[in-house]
Structure 1
Amino acid sequence: MKYEDIVTYISDIPKFTKKNNPDHTKRFLELLGSPQENRKILHVAGTNGKGSVCVYLEAMLRAEGQTTGLFISPHLVKMNERIIVNGQQISDEQFIDAFEDTMDAVRRLETEGFSHPTFFEFLFGMAMRTFAKADVSCIVLETGLGGRLDATNVCEHPVLTLIASIGLDHTEYLGTTLEQIAWEKAGIIKPGVPCLYSEGEKESNQVIEKRAESLQSPCRKIAKSAFEILEIKDKHIAFSCVSDYYEDTIWTLDNIGVYQPANAMLALEGMRCLAGEQVDTGRLHVWRDALAAVHWEGRMEEILPRFYVDGAHNVNAVRGFADSVPDGGAQSVILFSAVQDKNYEEMISCLCENVQADEYIVTTIADKRRTKAQELGDVFCRYTDKPVSVKEALPEAFHYARKIQGERTVYCLGSLYLTGMLKALVEESQEDSYA
């Protein structure tokens, strides 16, 4: 099959459907040659920030000389983005090769009476097969949804588990309270395996610690006070760590999101846990340089001059976005869209209350779960007296935002699908300008 046909095949597998049970996924991996065996696996869950934690961990491990595999989701523009080997997304040729191996396993799986893997499970199998072929020494896995029943959780012997910020999201699948969601996320904790988590609300903290205690897993909370933001300047954020372990090192991230130091801190503490003893200054500098070089797409990312995309797609993430916008959002324009299964009214309320934008633009994204722009526009009008422009087609919304931007800053958020589609639009427009 050609690459385009393969992407179409995978895209047609239902994304949000009933997961197969762990025994199904275990057998699937067995038919792929048990690629999870004999490798150091770091497993990361959380509502917000888990992708960032994964990227930071992978960068520091690779800087130390480890060979690495990184599995993340979702992709923004191209499906290959989900499978990273030694810092590089796999080529189309590698993608085709992984697909063919995975399809062979799926055919054998089905002859044994098992069902076809879901969208996420299929890509997880492709990733693990790719990592085994590349013979990487370390694998960083981001859970897809939840943790306890996630396909990635069949890797039973990680060296470390990490849980990033927990909030209310995917409540139709994971539960409607912080306790219920934390229980699902804490499902990645394994007996005797160290677990680190970012401090959240008391309800979620207690669930994680109780789960770890029951499994005799060494568990440590990374407090919100573990770091101090020093400055946000020139599209970078600098912070220091409170612990003497990190000496007087100043850490810099290529991002202005005030929520990112907490993610980097969790990753740093993960590296500290793996290192065991006190590390020397040279090793700290290796970690520092690795973090500074990370460019994490779709998270307060400037894709055109003063034109930012951010993947904030739930209330907690919108709060983090609002805290990150300079000057409270004065002299700014917001472009927004969301999917139906998100609490977009509360997201919009939070946005209007905390960001003083001059104008809001709403649009519809090309996805089955889309919310129509007019519906979003009506909600905005209930929470702001600023102009609200409804543009049904995303290209129209994008060009309108560029037209009215002037000296102002445009921020686009509400959905990672929106982020990916805008990045694709920008890439297409740049390619056309060179044609």
Structure 2
Amino acid sequence: MSNSPSLPMQQQPDSMRIGRSYKDAINALNSLQSNFATIQAVKLLDILPQQRSILSLNEVFEYTRRLGYKPLDFNKLNIIHVTGTKGKGSTCAFTESILSKYRGAGINKIGLFTSPHLISVRERIKINGEPITETKFAKYFFEVWDKLSSTTSDPDAFPTLQPCDTVKPMYFKYLTILSFHVFLSENVDTAIYEVGVGGKYDSTNIIEKPTVAAMTSLGIDHTLMLGNTIDSIAWNKAGIFKRGCPAIVGEQPEYPESLKVVEDVANEIGVSSLEVVNADIIPPSTKLGLAGDFQRKNAAVAVKIAQVHMKKLGVHIESDDELPQEFIQGLEAARWDGRCQTINNYSGYDRISWFIDGAHTLESINGASQWFKNAATKRDIPRVLLFNQQSRDNAGELLEKLYENIYASPSLKFDHVVFTTNVTWSDGSYNSDLVSLNVSKDGVDKLIIQKELAEKWDALDKVRGLTTRKHIFPNIETSLKFIKSLTNDKQEVEVFVCGSLHLVGGFLAVLKEIKD
């Protein structure tokens, strides 16, 4: 038996074979989530983060083998691989939108794998811009489930997979493996993959020959896994580059030193080319489908991705040194809910303008708060901040950054600040697609982080001599009911929803009354 270190395991019963509905698939999937106790145990293991990451990535190779796939099988998907700290999801959305304008001209089916989802897990696996249906999700989910239930691994070679006949991949790994199975089964001929965390050891990084690998803006995030310096983060992100394949990097004005690290990794790997893309390639007159000035950097990376990808596929692009009209149309038609999104006077919430962004890093908080300051009206009406960050150790730092950005402009302030958990409904329930087990249930029940954030805001207010009204609620539904109570036939309210994509997902579910 190998003496290699092993990771804590969560065993999942195979009793889910009885049911085959979409709901059964979601229940089975949720059983694969890393719970809070497991995450804490992993942190205490005497294993270096890199060693732990290698073990985790090796598992993905092994699971795909048990499904009957080899990594080279995925090359037929013509994969675009995108990493970064912020903007990688938006870049994928821009890229998908551009390529959709060339469907039928060398591209037929476009797959898109992203994370996290907002309301439905099916949002993570899209084909031609639409989440796969519940029927198809359940069908392919249980094909993977059954195959992994009927195959085993060598416990000496893969000690982390013991006992081999009961352990399934954890949540994100399972969805990654599932996406490959779905796209191959559905004959997708272009697949866009957003990295989950990092790059080099991410579950998606079993791709051998992407048509292009791209990196968006870098920042300090996920330091437990990636290190706490921009050099270590850049090194990890650049790990998706592949020998003989082109690589694209967005400009890095916040961390210009990271480009040297990226260049060194690219040279060591032996990429066919490395290009740093400037936002200036986007014509000033282009009205992007995604709001926020910072999106121009993401759009520029997407444009270059599309150009390189289509050249690789032999798709002809009409161009006279200007962006083709199809590219402009794709950039303008791009949609990505929960990112600098505005919803006005939604049914049941008249006279409320919602400004929504799932920003959850210091860099993305900068961009989102700047967008809100520009998007909010300058009228003298009440403004509310709805904020949550349940799982990050630097929640207070994120809130302080938001406060500083907003109050740098004396014309804008919040009259009310609402801190909530990510619990969706007032009865204490989550939608099944939104259940999160990776945070402390005791911490959520006792509103520990919410109370700390309220105290943080109070301390920031005292420095400026302000007295914002602060409110703490145990769930999102109650928070929205309170915000609605601030309106009447004459009174409008503007609300900035920010701090977490999990919050945004639950918020949208409540706003649109999507409850299962």
In which range does the TM-score fall when normalised by the shorter chain?
A: 0.7 to 0.9
Q: TM-score, normalised by structure 2?
A: 0.75
Equivalent residue, structure 2, for 1:376: 453
- For 1:68 and 1:180, the matched residues in 2 are separated by 33
Measured against aligned partners, the alpha-carbon deviations of 1:140-188 in whole angstroms (never above 9, x if no partner) come to 0011111101111111111100001110111111111111111111110
Distance (Å, rounded) in 1 between the aligned partners of 2:173 and 2:151: 13
User: In structure 2, how many angstroms separate the alpha carbons of the residues matched to 1:240 and 1:11?
Assistant: 44
Residue 167 in structure 1 maps to residue 213 in structure 2: no
Q: Which residue matches 1:348?
A: 399
Q: Which moved more, 1:345-354 or 1:278-287?
A: 278-287
CA contact (8 A) 1:170 1:342 kept: no
Calculate the aligned-residue CA RMSD, in Å: 2.4
Give structure 1 stretches of 5+ with no counterpart.
Answer: 228-238, 242-249
Match of 1:82 in 2: 124
Aligned runs of 1:51-200 on 2, under 5 Å? 51-65=89-103, 66=107, 67-110=109-152, 112-113=154-155, 114=158, 115=161, 116-200=168-252
* Mapped contact 2:123–2:131 kept (Cα < 8 A): yes
Q: How far apart, in 2, do the equivalents of 1:278 and 1:304 lie? A: 38
Code of the aligned partner of 1:75: H
Return closer, same or farther for 1:134/1:336 CA change in 2, 3 Å cut-off: same
The 5-angstrom pairing of residues 221-236 of structure 1 reads: 221-224=276-279, 226=280
Q: TM-score, normalised by structure 1?
A: 0.88
Unaligned runs of 5+ in 2: 1-18, 43-51, 162-167, 346-352, 407-411, 424-435
| Structure 1 residues 207 and 279: CA distance shift in structure 2, 3 A | farther
- State which of 405, 408, 414 in structure 2 corresponds to 1:358: 414
**What aligned pairs does 1:378-397 form with structure 2 within 5 A after superposition?**
378-384=455-461, 385=466, 386-397=468-479
Shift in Å at residue 60 of structure 1?
1.6
| Residue type of the alignment partner of 1:192 | G
Q: Deviations over 1:350-408 (max 9, x none)?
A: 11111132232111223442563212111111212232222232222112222225323
SS for the counterpart of 1:43 is: strand
1:212 corresponds to: 266
* Partner residue in 2 for 1:14: 33
Q: Which has the higher contact order (CA 8 A, sep 6+)?
A: 2
Quick one: which amino acid aligns to residue 68 of structure 1?
Answer: I
Larger Rg: 2
Aligned equivalent of 1:315, options 351, 362, 378: 362
Q: Amino acid of the residue matched to residue 256 of structure 2?
A: K
Give 2:49's aligned residue. Answer: none
Secondary structure of the structure 1 residue equivalent to 2:152: helix
Per the alignment, residue 384 of structure 2 pairs with: 333
Letter in 2 for 1:364: T
In 1: Cα distance, 2:81 partner to 2:290 partner: 24
* Contact 1:303-1:423 at 8 Å conserved across structures: no
CA distance in structure 2 between the partners assigned to 1:77 and 1:398 by the alignment? 17
Moved over 6 A (4+): none
CA deviation string 1:186-236 (max 9, x = no partner) = 110111211111122123211111111222321111235x25xxxxxxxxx
CA distance in 2, matches of 1:324, 1:59: 22
Partner secondary structure for residue 98 of structure 2? helix
The residue that corresponds to 2:505 in the other structure is: 420
Name the residue aligned to 1:230. none
Cα 1:149–1:352 change in 2 (3 A) is same
Give the direction of change, closer, same or farther, for the CA distance of 1:6–1:181 in structure 2 (3 Å limit): same
**Cross-structure match for 2:302:** 267
Deviates more, 1:143-152 or 1:250-259: 250-259
2:429 aligned partner: none
Higher strand proportion: 1
Q: Is the 8 A contact 1:169 1:342 kept in 2?
A: no
Aligned residues, how many?
Answer: 411
For 1:82 and 1:189, locate their aligned partners in 2 and report how far apart those are by CA, in whole Å.
Answer: 23
Cα 1:286–1:327 change in 2 (3 A) is: closer
Residues 229-258 of structure 1: per-residue CA shift (max 9 Å, x gap):
xxxxxxxxxx626xxxxxxxx322233222
Amino acid at match of 1:365: N
Distance 1:210 1:55 in 2: 29
* CA contact 1:363–1:390 (8 Å) conserved in 2: yes
Q: Which moved more, 1:384-393 or 1:134-143?
A: 384-393
